[in-house]
């Protein structure tokens, strides 16, 4: 689509940084550039700025500033939550075989890989299956809970299929379990990286003990995120070498990044209501057209309010998903097949496979993740290109 503006529909992977966020960050590159650990004026300015960022993030998610631990992004936050919680118990003398943890089959790889590591090291792991829309089956969760359970981790908004999990209900179920490890357990963690751009995240309402956020998913800079931690004594650091971030995350905190992250979250909190319904209407029109004009298309994830407004995930038989994305890219449309962190996978999206709908035939999947500025005109253009491309690929497959 040379000569025309590209249509970017991979906002679940990364969003463009808001110009107002860039403006907020600018002074901290080379004017107020001090290290927050310094006792001099420059250090005090950095320290005050860091404290303000903690306070801003905390206000946005109804937490206390001391409960916000800045990290390099969602992946590190997820690792800190899962590995840190288990290592704290190991540190205090609990044996690996006395520990049980729970997660789901549709988590981001930065969660799934951590649970694989724990399993390798002797921890008992339950991987819950989900229904056809990607929701945890509550009875299966209830059946999985044991006195040895110390942690359960559920993704809040699925990064591939847009499912908004019933985190509050799952948390309540987990917290009712009596634990061999003390009244603090079991803990509940949620990866909420995909949530803030589309819905309000409130730690008190959700009831979780640990919660991950990622700046690049909400129009902030890459390379920064945070972990909400209700009780820091229940985590062991996974990186060592300093006392920053309450002793849980050593290393010089990048002041420009945390300022940008805090500003980005403030902005989506202020402006979310102004765009969510409009984007949801565009999504619904696209899905309706798929049903009418491409009846072979199969929507992955729930419809309506249980799906984030900006997510469309659709599969087709007799289509290679990677090839579909490449052909759309040639037409000026940026989409994806799955999580950007799973680009080396084989066999298609494991999240889509976990839905259990496509057991007899291979399918190709494409994810369109819209942003707050996506227009109806753009999505009409995308639909036309998708229809032509899928038809062409299917005809070639049959030839």
Cite the active site residues. 341
Which position has the token pair 């998913």?
217
Separation CA 233–CA 236 (nearest Å): 8
* Residue 13 to residues 197, 224, 375, Cα–Cα distance (Å): 13, 14, 19
Nearest CA to 244 out of 32, 6, 33, 47 is that of: 47
337 HSE (CA, 13 A, CB side):
23
Q: What is the dihedral of CA 158, 304, 309, 191, to 10 degrees?
A: -20
Token pair for 196: 């803030």
What is 300-320 written as a DSSP string?
Answer: -S--GGGB-TTEEEEEEET--
CB-based contacts of 373: which residues, under 8 Å, 6+ apart? 275
* Residue 161 to residues 28, 354, 375, Cα–Cα distance (Å): 37, 11, 20
CB 382 within 8 A of CB 9: yes
Start-to-end C-alpha separation, the chain: 27
Nearest CA to 351 out of 369, 365, 361 is that of: 365
What is 148-211 written as a DSSP string?
Answer: TEEEEEEESB-TTT-BB--HHHHHHHHHTS--TT-TT-SEEEEE-TTSTTTS---HHHHT-SEE
Work out the angle at residue 178's Cα, subtended by the Cα atoms of residues 201 and 100, and round it to the nearest 5 degrees. Answer: 80
User: Would strands 225-229 and 68-71 be described as parallel, antiparallel, or unpaired?
Assistant: antiparallel
Which position has the token pair 């289509």?
319
> Which strand ranges, in their side-by-side order, compose the sheet holding 298-299?
298-299, 311-317, 363-369
Q: 360: which DSSP letter?
A: S
Q: 17: which DSSP letter?
A: P
Nearest CA to 170 out of 147, 140, 200 is that of: 140
Burial class (CB in 10 A: 0-12, 13-18, 19+), 90: middle
């Amino acid at each position: 689509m040379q000569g025309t503006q590209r249509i970017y529909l991979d906002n679940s992977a990364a969003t463009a940084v808001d110009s107002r966020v860039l403006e907020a960050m600018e002074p901290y590159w080379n004017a107020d550039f001090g290290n927050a650990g310094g006792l001099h004026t420059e250090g005090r300015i950095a320290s005050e700025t860091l404290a303000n960022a903690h306070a801003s993030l905390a206000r946005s998610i109804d937490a206390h500033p001391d409960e916000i631990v800045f990290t390099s992004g969602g992946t590190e936050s997820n690792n800190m939550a899962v590995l840190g919680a288990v290592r704290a118990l190991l540190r205090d003398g609990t044996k690996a075989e006395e520990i049980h943890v729970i997660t789901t089959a549709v988590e981001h790889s930065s969660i799934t890989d951590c649970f694989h590591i724990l399993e390798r090291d002797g921890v008992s792991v339950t991987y819950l299956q989900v229904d056809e829309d990607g929701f945890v089956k509550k009875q299966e969760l209830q059946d999985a809970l044991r006195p040895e359970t110390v942690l359960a981790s559920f993704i809040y908004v699925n990064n591939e299929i847009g499912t908004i999990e019933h985190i509050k209900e799952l948390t309540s179920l987990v917290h009712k379990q009596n634990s061999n490890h003390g009244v603090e357990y079991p803990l509940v963690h949620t990866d909420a990286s995909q949530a803030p751009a589309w819905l309000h995240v409130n730690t008190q309402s959700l009831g979780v003990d640990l919660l991950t956020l990622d700046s690049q998913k909400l129009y902030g800079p890459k390379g920064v995120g945070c972990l909400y931690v209700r009780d820091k004594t229940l985590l062991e650091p996974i990186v060592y070498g300093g006392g920053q971030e309450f002793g849980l995350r050593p290393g010089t905190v990048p002041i420009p990044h945390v300022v940008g992250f805090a500003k980005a979250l403030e902005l989506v909190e202020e402006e979310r209501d102004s765009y969510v319904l409009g984007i949801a209407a565009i999504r619904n029109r696209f899905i309706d057209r798929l049903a009418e004009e491409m009846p072979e298309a199969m929507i992955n994830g729930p419809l309506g309010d249980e799906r984030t407004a900006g997510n469309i995930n659709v599969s087709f038989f007799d289509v290679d998903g990677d090839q579909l994305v490449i052909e759309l890219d040639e037409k000026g449309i940026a989409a994806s097949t799955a999580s950007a962190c799973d680009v080396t996978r084989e066999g298609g999206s494991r999240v889509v496979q976990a839905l259990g709908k496509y057991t007899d035939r291979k399918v190709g999947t494409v994810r369109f993740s819209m942003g707050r500025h996506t227009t109806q005109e753009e999505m009409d253009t995308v639909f036309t290109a998708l229809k032509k491309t899928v038809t062409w690929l299917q005809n070639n497959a049959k030839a």
